[in-house]
A and B are shown apart, each in its own frame.
Chain A
Amino acid sequence: MTKRLLALTVNGRMREDAVAANLLLLDYLRGTAGLTGTKQGCDGGECGACTVLIDGQPRLACITLAAACEGRVVETIESLAIEGRMSRLQQAFHEKLGTQCGFCTPGMIMAAEALLRRNPRPTDADIREALSGNLCRCTGYVKIIESVQAAAGG
Protein backbone atom coordinates (compact mmCIF):
# COMPACT_ATOMS: atom_id res chain seq x y z
CA MET A 1 0.00 0.00 0.00
CA THR A 2 1.28 3.45 -0.81
CA LYS A 3 2.38 5.61 2.05
CA ARG A 4 2.06 9.33 2.35
CA LEU A 5 4.27 11.81 4.09
CA LEU A 6 2.76 13.05 7.34
CA ALA A 7 4.01 16.26 8.90
CA LEU A 8 2.83 17.14 12.39
CA THR A 9 4.05 18.24 15.79
CA VAL A 10 4.32 15.63 18.50
CA ASN A 11 5.17 16.79 22.00
CA GLY A 12 6.67 20.01 20.70
CA ARG A 13 8.77 18.41 18.00
CA MET A 14 8.08 18.61 14.30
CA ARG A 15 8.08 15.19 12.71
CA GLU A 16 7.79 13.88 9.21
CA ASP A 17 7.03 10.22 8.70
CA ALA A 18 5.84 8.09 5.84
CA VAL A 19 2.60 6.48 7.00
CA ALA A 20 0.04 4.13 5.52
CA ALA A 21 -3.46 5.53 5.11
CA ASN A 22 -4.88 3.01 7.55
CA LEU A 23 -2.37 3.66 10.34
CA LEU A 24 -4.12 4.67 13.53
CA LEU A 25 -2.72 7.55 15.53
CA LEU A 26 -2.34 5.14 18.45
CA ASP A 27 -0.07 2.84 16.47
CA TYR A 28 1.79 5.80 15.01
CA LEU A 29 2.55 7.12 18.49
CA ARG A 30 3.41 3.79 20.06
CA GLY A 31 5.15 2.23 17.07
CA THR A 32 6.55 4.87 14.74
CA ALA A 33 7.26 7.52 17.38
CA GLY A 34 8.13 5.04 20.15
CA LEU A 35 5.87 6.81 22.65
CA THR A 36 4.41 3.86 24.52
CA GLY A 37 2.94 5.98 27.32
CA THR A 38 -0.34 6.12 25.42
CA LYS A 39 -2.25 2.90 26.11
CA GLN A 40 -4.81 0.71 24.43
CA GLY A 41 -7.57 -0.81 26.54
CA CYS A 42 -10.32 -1.77 24.11
CA ASP A 43 -11.11 -2.64 20.52
CA GLY A 44 -11.89 0.94 19.56
CA GLY A 45 -13.29 4.00 21.25
CA GLU A 46 -14.74 2.49 24.42
CA CYS A 47 -12.32 3.03 27.31
CA GLY A 48 -10.37 6.29 26.98
CA ALA A 49 -6.96 4.73 27.76
CA CYS A 50 -5.60 6.16 24.51
CA THR A 51 -6.64 9.78 25.20
CA VAL A 52 -4.16 12.33 23.82
CA LEU A 53 -4.53 15.99 22.99
CA ILE A 54 -4.90 17.15 19.41
CA ASP A 55 -4.74 20.92 19.11
CA GLY A 56 -5.45 20.99 22.82
CA GLN A 57 -8.63 18.89 22.61
CA PRO A 58 -8.95 15.44 24.18
CA ARG A 59 -9.07 12.82 21.43
CA LEU A 60 -9.02 9.04 21.21
CA ALA A 61 -5.90 7.94 19.38
CA CYS A 62 -7.32 4.48 18.69
CA ILE A 63 -10.08 5.85 16.47
CA THR A 64 -8.11 8.64 14.80
CA LEU A 65 -6.16 8.17 11.60
CA ALA A 66 -2.56 9.30 11.81
CA ALA A 67 -2.86 10.77 8.33
CA ALA A 68 -5.75 12.97 9.46
CA CYS A 69 -3.37 14.71 11.91
CA GLU A 70 -1.51 16.48 9.12
CA GLY A 71 -0.38 19.86 10.40
CA ARG A 72 -1.80 19.29 13.87
CA VAL A 73 -0.28 19.49 17.30
CA VAL A 74 -0.39 16.21 19.20
CA GLU A 75 0.50 15.94 22.89
CA THR A 76 0.89 12.76 24.88
CA ILE A 77 1.60 11.91 28.50
CA GLU A 78 5.33 12.04 27.76
CA SER A 79 5.08 15.79 27.10
CA LEU A 80 3.85 16.84 30.52
CA ALA A 81 6.98 16.57 32.62
CA ILE A 82 9.09 19.60 31.79
CA GLU A 83 12.84 19.44 32.37
CA GLY A 84 12.35 16.33 34.43
CA ARG A 85 9.75 17.88 36.70
CA MET A 86 6.38 16.23 36.81
CA SER A 87 3.41 18.45 36.05
CA ARG A 88 1.00 19.34 38.81
CA LEU A 89 -1.42 16.73 37.62
CA GLN A 90 1.24 14.05 37.51
CA GLN A 91 2.46 15.04 40.96
CA ALA A 92 -1.07 14.96 42.33
CA PHE A 93 -1.94 11.60 40.75
CA HIS A 94 1.25 10.22 42.28
CA GLU A 95 0.82 11.67 45.76
CA LYS A 96 -2.93 11.19 46.09
CA LEU A 97 -2.89 7.69 44.63
CA GLY A 98 -4.91 8.66 41.57
CA THR A 99 -3.09 5.74 40.00
CA GLN A 100 -3.01 2.10 41.07
CA CYS A 101 -2.08 -0.23 38.24
CA GLY A 102 -1.41 2.84 36.14
CA PHE A 103 -2.88 1.58 32.93
CA CYS A 104 -5.69 4.10 32.64
CA THR A 105 -3.47 6.82 34.05
CA PRO A 106 -1.93 8.39 30.94
CA GLY A 107 -5.35 8.75 29.31
CA MET A 108 -6.89 9.95 32.54
CA ILE A 109 -4.21 12.59 33.07
CA MET A 110 -4.46 13.82 29.48
CA ALA A 111 -8.23 14.16 29.76
CA ALA A 112 -7.73 16.06 33.03
CA GLU A 113 -5.06 18.21 31.39
CA ALA A 114 -7.53 19.27 28.69
CA LEU A 115 -10.00 20.19 31.41
CA LEU A 116 -7.59 22.25 33.51
CA ARG A 117 -6.36 24.22 30.51
CA ARG A 118 -9.93 25.20 29.74
CA ASN A 119 -11.16 25.45 33.30
CA PRO A 120 -8.46 25.87 35.96
CA ARG A 121 -10.93 25.69 38.88
CA PRO A 122 -13.26 22.85 38.02
CA THR A 123 -16.10 21.69 40.27
CA ASP A 124 -16.64 18.06 41.16
CA ALA A 125 -19.24 17.89 38.38
CA ASP A 126 -16.84 19.44 35.85
CA ILE A 127 -14.21 16.83 36.70
CA ARG A 128 -16.68 13.97 36.36
CA GLU A 129 -17.88 15.31 33.04
CA ALA A 130 -14.34 15.74 31.68
CA LEU A 131 -13.26 12.24 32.72
CA SER A 132 -16.52 10.53 31.82
CA GLY A 133 -15.04 8.71 28.83
CA ASN A 134 -12.09 7.27 30.76
CA LEU A 135 -12.65 3.95 32.48
CA CYS A 136 -10.57 2.96 35.48
CA ARG A 137 -10.94 -0.49 36.98
CA CYS A 138 -8.76 -0.01 40.06
CA THR A 139 -9.51 3.16 41.96
CA GLY A 140 -13.27 3.54 42.03
CA TYR A 141 -12.39 7.07 40.81
CA VAL A 142 -12.50 8.60 44.29
CA LYS A 143 -8.80 9.33 44.45
CA ILE A 144 -8.74 10.34 40.80
CA ILE A 145 -11.17 13.14 41.58
CA GLU A 146 -9.10 14.11 44.61
CA SER A 147 -5.98 14.17 42.46
CA VAL A 148 -7.50 16.52 39.90
CA GLN A 149 -8.84 18.75 42.66
CA ALA A 150 -5.43 18.84 44.28
CA ALA A 151 -3.74 19.72 41.00
CA ALA A 152 -6.24 22.51 40.40
CA GLY A 153 -6.03 23.88 43.89
CA GLY A 154 -2.31 23.60 44.44
Chain B
Amino acid sequence: MERMPQFDLRRPASIAEAAALLAAEPGARLLAGGTDLLPTMRRGIERPPVLVDLGAVRDFSRIDFADAGLALGAGVTLSQLAMDGRIVHHHRAIAEAARSVAGPGHRSAATIGGNLCLDTRCVFYNQSEWWRATNHYCLKLGGDVCHVAPQGSHCHAAFCGDLAPALLVLGASIELCARRGARVIPLSDLYRDDGVAHLALEPDEVLVRVLVPARSPALVSGYRKARARGAIDFPLAGVACALVARDGVLAELKVALTGTNSRPILLAGTEALVGRGIDEATLSALGKLVQKQASPMRTTVTQSNYRRQVAAALAQRLVRELAGYEPSAARASMS
Protein backbone atom coordinates (compact mmCIF):
# COMPACT_ATOMS: atom_id res chain seq x y z
CA MET B 1 0.00 0.00 0.00
CA GLU B 2 1.34 3.41 -0.82
CA ARG B 3 1.74 5.74 2.02
CA MET B 4 0.13 9.14 2.34
CA PRO B 5 2.68 11.72 1.27
CA GLN B 6 3.80 14.07 4.02
CA PHE B 7 2.41 17.56 4.35
CA ASP B 8 1.72 20.28 6.85
CA LEU B 9 -1.86 20.66 7.96
CA ARG B 10 -3.41 24.04 8.72
CA ARG B 11 -6.85 24.54 10.15
CA PRO B 12 -7.91 28.15 9.63
CA ALA B 13 -11.03 29.46 11.39
CA SER B 14 -12.08 31.83 8.61
CA ILE B 15 -12.12 32.05 4.84
CA ALA B 16 -9.87 35.09 4.89
CA GLU B 17 -7.32 33.14 6.86
CA ALA B 18 -7.62 30.24 4.44
CA ALA B 19 -7.04 32.52 1.46
CA ALA B 20 -4.06 34.07 3.20
CA LEU B 21 -2.56 30.65 3.82
CA LEU B 22 -3.05 29.68 0.17
CA ALA B 23 -1.36 32.88 -0.91
CA ALA B 24 1.53 32.37 1.48
CA GLU B 25 2.24 28.73 0.76
CA PRO B 26 2.88 27.94 -2.88
CA GLY B 27 1.37 24.58 -3.81
CA ALA B 28 -0.94 24.56 -0.82
CA ARG B 29 -4.29 22.89 -1.38
CA LEU B 30 -7.68 23.22 0.21
CA LEU B 31 -9.07 20.19 1.97
CA ALA B 32 -12.85 20.09 2.40
CA GLY B 33 -14.48 16.67 2.81
CA GLY B 34 -11.35 15.08 1.43
CA THR B 35 -13.30 12.41 -0.41
CA ASP B 36 -11.62 13.28 -3.66
CA LEU B 37 -8.34 14.80 -2.57
CA LEU B 38 -7.32 12.11 -0.09
CA PRO B 39 -7.80 9.12 -2.41
CA THR B 40 -5.85 11.10 -5.00
CA MET B 41 -3.08 11.78 -2.51
CA ARG B 42 -3.03 8.14 -1.48
CA ARG B 43 -2.23 7.30 -5.09
CA GLY B 44 0.58 9.81 -5.14
CA ILE B 45 -1.17 11.93 -7.76
CA GLU B 46 -1.28 14.99 -5.56
CA ARG B 47 1.61 15.81 -3.24
CA PRO B 48 0.80 19.24 -1.82
CA PRO B 49 3.29 20.47 0.80
CA VAL B 50 0.49 22.10 2.79
CA LEU B 51 -3.15 21.18 3.24
CA VAL B 52 -5.53 23.90 4.37
CA ASP B 53 -8.37 22.08 6.10
CA LEU B 54 -11.63 23.99 5.81
CA GLY B 55 -13.27 21.84 8.49
CA ALA B 56 -12.91 24.45 11.21
CA VAL B 57 -14.08 27.46 9.17
CA ARG B 58 -17.10 29.14 10.73
CA ASP B 59 -20.33 29.82 8.86
CA PHE B 60 -19.20 27.74 5.92
CA SER B 61 -22.03 25.26 5.74
CA ARG B 62 -25.17 27.35 5.86
CA ILE B 63 -28.19 26.96 3.64
CA ASP B 64 -30.06 30.29 3.31
CA PHE B 65 -33.34 30.70 1.52
CA ALA B 66 -34.18 34.33 0.74
CA ASP B 67 -36.40 36.22 -1.70
CA ALA B 68 -33.46 36.69 -4.03
CA GLY B 69 -32.82 33.01 -4.07
CA LEU B 70 -30.85 30.30 -2.41
CA ALA B 71 -27.38 30.74 -0.95
CA LEU B 72 -25.37 27.62 -0.20
CA GLY B 73 -22.16 27.74 1.80
CA ALA B 74 -19.39 25.87 0.00
CA GLY B 75 -18.99 23.70 3.10
CA VAL B 76 -22.56 22.39 2.93
CA THR B 77 -22.34 18.61 2.67
CA LEU B 78 -24.00 16.60 -0.04
CA SER B 79 -26.06 14.73 2.54
CA GLN B 80 -27.35 18.07 3.85
CA LEU B 81 -28.32 18.98 0.29
CA ALA B 82 -29.97 15.66 -0.44
CA MET B 83 -32.05 15.77 2.71
CA ASP B 84 -33.09 19.41 2.87
CA GLY B 85 -36.84 19.43 2.25
CA ARG B 86 -36.85 22.91 0.73
CA ILE B 87 -34.20 22.00 -1.78
CA VAL B 88 -35.92 18.75 -2.66
CA HIS B 89 -39.09 20.77 -3.21
CA HIS B 90 -37.83 23.85 -5.04
CA HIS B 91 -34.60 22.72 -6.68
CA ARG B 92 -35.06 19.08 -7.24
CA ALA B 93 -32.14 18.77 -9.64
CA ILE B 94 -29.72 19.78 -6.88
CA ALA B 95 -31.09 17.25 -4.41
CA GLU B 96 -31.16 14.49 -7.03
CA ALA B 97 -27.61 15.23 -8.11
CA ALA B 98 -26.33 15.33 -4.53
CA ARG B 99 -28.08 12.09 -3.73
CA SER B 100 -26.49 10.36 -6.70
CA VAL B 101 -22.90 11.02 -5.60
CA ALA B 102 -20.84 8.03 -4.40
CA GLY B 103 -22.26 6.55 -1.17
CA PRO B 104 -23.61 7.81 2.17
CA GLY B 105 -20.18 7.60 3.80
CA HIS B 106 -18.85 9.99 1.18
CA ARG B 107 -21.83 12.31 1.13
CA SER B 108 -21.76 13.05 4.83
CA ALA B 109 -18.22 14.43 4.35
CA ALA B 110 -18.28 15.64 0.77
CA THR B 111 -18.94 19.34 0.24
CA ILE B 112 -20.40 21.47 -2.51
CA GLY B 113 -17.07 23.27 -2.87
CA GLY B 114 -15.17 20.04 -3.29
CA ASN B 115 -17.71 18.68 -5.72
CA LEU B 116 -17.59 21.77 -7.94
CA CYS B 117 -13.79 21.89 -7.77
CA LEU B 118 -13.38 18.18 -8.37
CA ASP B 119 -10.37 17.18 -10.42
CA THR B 120 -10.99 15.76 -13.89
CA ARG B 121 -10.77 11.98 -14.21
CA CYS B 122 -9.16 9.52 -16.59
CA VAL B 123 -8.45 5.82 -16.40
CA PHE B 124 -4.80 6.52 -17.23
CA TYR B 125 -4.56 9.09 -14.45
CA ASN B 126 -6.56 7.78 -11.49
CA GLN B 127 -4.07 4.99 -10.88
CA SER B 128 -1.25 4.31 -8.46
CA GLU B 129 2.20 5.83 -8.76
CA TRP B 130 3.62 2.45 -9.83
CA TRP B 131 0.94 2.11 -12.49
CA ARG B 132 1.45 5.56 -13.94
CA ALA B 133 5.23 5.19 -13.88
CA THR B 134 4.96 1.81 -15.63
CA ASN B 135 2.76 3.45 -18.23
CA HIS B 136 5.26 6.34 -18.61
CA TYR B 137 2.88 8.89 -17.11
CA CYS B 138 0.83 11.21 -19.34
CA LEU B 139 0.27 14.82 -20.30
CA LYS B 140 -1.85 15.57 -17.28
CA LEU B 141 0.87 14.58 -14.87
CA GLY B 142 4.55 13.94 -15.38
CA GLY B 143 4.53 12.74 -18.97
CA ASP B 144 4.40 14.02 -22.51
CA VAL B 145 1.82 11.93 -24.31
CA CYS B 146 -1.87 11.43 -23.89
CA HIS B 147 -2.76 7.74 -23.97
CA VAL B 148 -6.31 8.59 -24.95
CA ALA B 149 -5.42 10.66 -28.01
CA PRO B 150 -1.69 10.10 -28.57
CA GLN B 151 -1.53 12.35 -31.63
CA GLY B 152 -2.81 15.41 -29.81
CA SER B 153 -1.31 17.67 -27.20
CA HIS B 154 -4.47 18.11 -25.23
CA CYS B 155 -5.73 16.30 -22.15
CA HIS B 156 -9.28 14.99 -22.38
CA ALA B 157 -9.78 13.89 -18.78
CA ALA B 158 -13.47 14.20 -17.99
CA PHE B 159 -15.11 16.37 -15.38
CA CYS B 160 -17.36 14.02 -13.41
CA GLY B 161 -18.92 16.07 -10.63
CA ASP B 162 -22.66 15.55 -10.36
CA LEU B 163 -23.67 18.87 -8.86
CA ALA B 164 -22.32 21.24 -11.51
CA PRO B 165 -24.89 20.48 -14.23
CA ALA B 166 -27.75 20.78 -11.76
CA LEU B 167 -26.50 24.20 -10.66
CA LEU B 168 -25.79 25.27 -14.24
CA VAL B 169 -29.35 24.72 -15.43
CA LEU B 170 -30.57 26.76 -12.47
CA GLY B 171 -28.35 29.68 -13.46
CA ALA B 172 -26.15 29.55 -10.37
CA SER B 173 -23.24 31.84 -9.73
CA ILE B 174 -20.42 31.42 -7.28
CA GLU B 175 -18.70 33.68 -4.81
CA LEU B 176 -14.94 33.39 -4.73
CA CYS B 177 -12.74 34.87 -2.07
CA ALA B 178 -9.04 35.60 -2.42
CA ARG B 179 -6.59 37.48 -0.24
CA ARG B 180 -7.17 40.64 -2.22
CA GLY B 181 -10.95 40.46 -2.28
CA ALA B 182 -14.04 38.61 -3.43
CA ARG B 183 -15.76 38.23 -6.77
CA VAL B 184 -18.98 36.68 -7.99
CA ILE B 185 -18.96 34.89 -11.36
CA PRO B 186 -21.41 32.70 -13.21
CA LEU B 187 -20.71 29.06 -12.38
CA SER B 188 -20.08 28.33 -16.05
CA ASP B 189 -17.09 30.68 -15.93
CA LEU B 190 -15.41 28.48 -13.33
CA TYR B 191 -14.67 25.88 -15.98
CA ARG B 192 -12.36 25.63 -18.96
CA ASP B 193 -12.19 22.99 -21.63
CA ASP B 194 -8.81 21.65 -20.60
CA GLY B 195 -8.38 18.38 -18.74
CA VAL B 196 -5.19 19.61 -17.06
CA ALA B 197 -6.36 23.03 -15.94
CA HIS B 198 -10.12 22.91 -16.00
CA LEU B 199 -10.70 25.38 -13.17
CA ALA B 200 -10.41 29.12 -13.71
CA LEU B 201 -9.43 29.70 -10.10
CA GLU B 202 -6.56 31.83 -8.87
CA PRO B 203 -4.17 29.84 -6.68
CA ASP B 204 -5.36 31.65 -3.56
CA GLU B 205 -9.06 31.65 -4.35
CA VAL B 206 -11.58 29.85 -2.18
CA LEU B 207 -15.08 29.04 -3.33
CA VAL B 208 -17.24 30.45 -0.56
CA ARG B 209 -20.85 30.33 -1.64
CA VAL B 210 -23.10 29.20 -4.43
CA LEU B 211 -25.98 31.49 -5.30
CA VAL B 212 -29.06 30.11 -7.02
CA PRO B 213 -31.42 32.86 -8.21
CA ALA B 214 -35.13 32.67 -7.37
CA ARG B 215 -37.11 31.32 -10.31
CA SER B 216 -40.67 31.10 -11.41
CA PRO B 217 -42.57 28.47 -9.43
CA ALA B 218 -43.43 26.81 -12.75
CA LEU B 219 -39.78 25.86 -13.31
CA VAL B 220 -39.18 22.17 -12.73
CA SER B 221 -35.80 20.50 -12.67
CA GLY B 222 -34.20 17.11 -12.35
CA TYR B 223 -30.97 15.16 -12.69
CA ARG B 224 -30.34 11.74 -14.25
CA LYS B 225 -27.14 9.81 -14.23
CA ALA B 226 -25.90 6.86 -16.24
CA ARG B 227 -23.62 4.48 -14.42
CA ALA B 228 -22.91 0.79 -14.35
CA ARG B 229 -24.02 0.22 -10.77
CA GLY B 230 -26.77 1.67 -8.61
CA ALA B 231 -24.34 3.54 -6.36
CA ILE B 232 -20.70 4.56 -5.81
CA ASP B 233 -19.91 5.13 -9.49
CA PHE B 234 -19.04 8.45 -11.05
CA PRO B 235 -21.34 9.39 -13.90
CA LEU B 236 -20.60 7.85 -17.29
CA ALA B 237 -22.82 10.73 -18.30
CA GLY B 238 -25.00 12.96 -16.15
CA VAL B 239 -27.77 15.20 -17.39
CA ALA B 240 -29.54 18.02 -15.59
CA CYS B 241 -32.52 19.79 -16.95
CA ALA B 242 -34.69 22.71 -15.91
CA LEU B 243 -37.78 23.67 -17.87
CA VAL B 244 -41.09 25.42 -17.87
CA ALA B 245 -43.81 23.80 -19.93
CA ARG B 246 -47.14 25.46 -20.61
CA ASP B 247 -49.91 23.59 -22.38
CA GLY B 248 -47.55 21.05 -23.82
CA VAL B 249 -45.19 23.74 -25.13
CA LEU B 250 -41.70 24.44 -23.86
CA ALA B 251 -41.56 27.93 -22.40
CA GLU B 252 -38.05 27.59 -21.01
CA LEU B 253 -35.41 24.90 -21.34
CA LYS B 254 -31.90 24.48 -20.00
CA VAL B 255 -29.90 21.26 -20.21
CA ALA B 256 -26.43 20.61 -18.85
CA LEU B 257 -24.09 17.63 -19.01
CA THR B 258 -21.33 16.18 -16.91
CA GLY B 259 -19.01 13.22 -17.30
CA THR B 260 -18.63 13.71 -21.03
CA ASN B 261 -16.21 16.62 -21.45
CA SER B 262 -13.38 18.19 -19.51
CA ARG B 263 -15.87 20.70 -18.20
CA PRO B 264 -19.54 20.48 -17.34
CA ILE B 265 -21.41 22.02 -20.26
CA LEU B 266 -24.57 24.03 -20.47
CA LEU B 267 -26.05 22.80 -23.71
CA ALA B 268 -26.06 25.51 -26.39
CA GLY B 269 -29.02 25.83 -28.75
CA THR B 270 -31.84 24.81 -26.42
CA GLU B 271 -33.43 28.25 -27.00
CA ALA B 272 -34.33 27.00 -30.46
CA LEU B 273 -36.55 24.39 -28.86
CA VAL B 274 -38.42 26.92 -26.74
CA GLY B 275 -41.87 27.51 -28.15
CA ARG B 276 -42.04 24.05 -29.59
CA GLY B 277 -44.37 21.30 -28.49
CA ILE B 278 -42.89 18.47 -26.50
CA ASP B 279 -43.10 15.80 -29.14
CA GLU B 280 -40.86 13.24 -30.78
CA ALA B 281 -39.43 15.79 -33.21
CA THR B 282 -38.43 18.14 -30.42
CA LEU B 283 -36.94 15.33 -28.42
CA SER B 284 -35.03 14.10 -31.39
CA ALA B 285 -33.68 17.61 -32.00
CA LEU B 286 -32.63 17.71 -28.35
CA GLY B 287 -30.92 14.34 -28.73
CA LYS B 288 -28.96 15.69 -31.68
CA LEU B 289 -27.83 18.72 -29.70
CA VAL B 290 -26.56 16.48 -26.93
CA GLN B 291 -24.81 14.07 -29.27
CA LYS B 292 -23.08 16.95 -30.97
CA GLN B 293 -21.84 18.78 -27.92
CA ALA B 294 -21.00 15.85 -25.68
CA SER B 295 -17.53 14.75 -26.64
CA PRO B 296 -16.54 11.86 -24.42
CA MET B 297 -13.13 10.39 -25.12
CA ARG B 298 -11.66 7.05 -24.11
CA THR B 299 -11.09 8.20 -20.52
CA THR B 300 -13.26 5.57 -18.86
CA VAL B 301 -13.39 1.80 -19.07
CA THR B 302 -16.80 2.17 -20.67
CA GLN B 303 -16.93 2.95 -24.39
CA SER B 304 -17.06 6.67 -25.16
CA ASN B 305 -19.70 6.17 -27.81
CA TYR B 306 -22.00 4.73 -25.18
CA ARG B 307 -21.53 7.76 -22.97
CA ARG B 308 -22.56 10.06 -25.79
CA GLN B 309 -25.62 8.05 -26.68
CA VAL B 310 -26.80 7.54 -23.17
CA ALA B 311 -26.42 11.26 -22.46
CA ALA B 312 -28.84 11.94 -25.29
CA ALA B 313 -31.25 9.25 -24.15
CA LEU B 314 -31.26 10.55 -20.59
CA ALA B 315 -31.80 14.15 -21.71
CA GLN B 316 -34.79 13.11 -23.78
CA ARG B 317 -36.22 11.02 -21.00
CA LEU B 318 -35.76 13.73 -18.41
CA VAL B 319 -37.46 16.39 -20.53
CA ARG B 320 -40.32 14.02 -21.16
CA GLU B 321 -40.67 13.22 -17.47
CA LEU B 322 -40.42 16.84 -16.31
CA ALA B 323 -42.95 17.99 -18.86
CA GLY B 324 -45.27 15.13 -17.96
CA TYR B 325 -45.21 13.96 -21.55
CA GLU B 326 -46.22 10.39 -22.29
CA PRO B 327 -45.12 9.33 -25.76
CA SER B 328 -47.88 6.83 -26.47
CA ALA B 329 -50.65 9.15 -25.24
CA ALA B 330 -49.25 12.00 -27.31
CA ARG B 331 -49.06 9.84 -30.38
CA ALA B 332 -52.63 8.80 -29.92
CA SER B 333 -53.74 12.42 -29.59
CA MET B 334 -51.82 13.36 -32.70
CA SER B 335 -53.56 10.87 -34.89
B221: min CB distance to chain A, Å: 21
Number of residues of chain A lying within 8 A (CB) of chain B: 33
Secondary structure type dominating chain A contacts = mixed
Q: From residue A42, how far is it (CB to closest CB) to chain B in Å? A: 9
Q: Are B7 and A22 in contact (CB under 8 A)?
A: yes
Which residues of the other chain, B, contact A57 by a CB distance below 8 angstroms? 79, 108-109
**Are B34 and A63 closer than 8 Å at their CB atoms?**
yes
Contact call A132/B103, Cβ cutoff below 8 A = yes
Minimum CB distance partner of A52 in chain B: B105
In the bound complex, residues from chain A placing their C-beta under 8 Å from that of B38 are 24, 44-45, 63-65
A48 within 8 A of B: yes
Contact status B11-A70, CB under 8 Å: yes
Across-interface contacts of A124 in B (CB, < 8 A): none
* Among candidates B42, B55, B102, B105, residue contacting A51 with C-beta atoms closer than 8 Å: B105
- In B1-16, the 8 Å CB interface with A consists of 1-9, 11
Please state if B39 and A111 are interface contacts (CB–CB under 8 Å). Answer: no
B43 pairs with A43, CB closer than 8 A: yes
Known: A4-B9, A67-B9. A48 touches B103 (CB 8 A): yes
B51 at the interface (CB under 8 A from A): yes
A60 pairs with B105, CB closer than 8 A = yes
* B120, chain A: closest CB distance, angstroms: 17
Contacts of A129 in B (CB 8 A): 104
Q: Name the interface residues of A95-154: CB closer than 8 Å to any CB of B.
A: 111, 114, 128-130, 132-134
Structural contact, A114 and B7, CB atoms closer than 8 A: no
In the assembled complex, which residues on chain A have CB atoms less than 8 Å from the CB atom of B55?
68
- For the complex, is A46 an interface residue (Cβ under 8 Å from B)? yes
Residues of B contacting A65 with CB < 8 Å?
9, 31, 34, 38, 51, 53
Q: Which of B147-199 contact A (CB under 8 A)?
A: none
Query: Of residues A64, A65, A67, A111, which shows the largest number of chain B Cβ atoms within 10 Å of its Cβ?
Result: A65
Contact A133 B43, beta carbon cutoff 8 Å = no
User: Does B141 count as interface, using CB distance less than 8 angstroms?
Assistant: no
Given contacts A44-B42, A132-B232, A133-B232, contact A63 B35 (CB under 8 A): yes
Docked CA distance A129–B232 (Å): 11
The answer, among A43, A67, A70, for a CB contact under 8 Å with B42, is A43
Nearest to A107 among chain B residues (CB) is B105
The answer on a CB contact under 8 Å between B43 and A44 is yes
Instruction: List chain A residues, Cβ under 8 A from B3.
Output: 22
Mask, B45-58, CB within 8 Å of A = 1, is 00000010101100
Please name 14 further chain A to chain B contacts, defined as beta carbons within 8 Å, in addition to the given A21-B8, A133-B232, sorted by A numbering. Answer: A4-B9, A21-B6, A21-B9, A21-B51, A43-B1, A44-B42, A45-B38, A64-B109, A65-B34, A68-B31, A68-B34, A111-B104, A132-B231, A134-B103
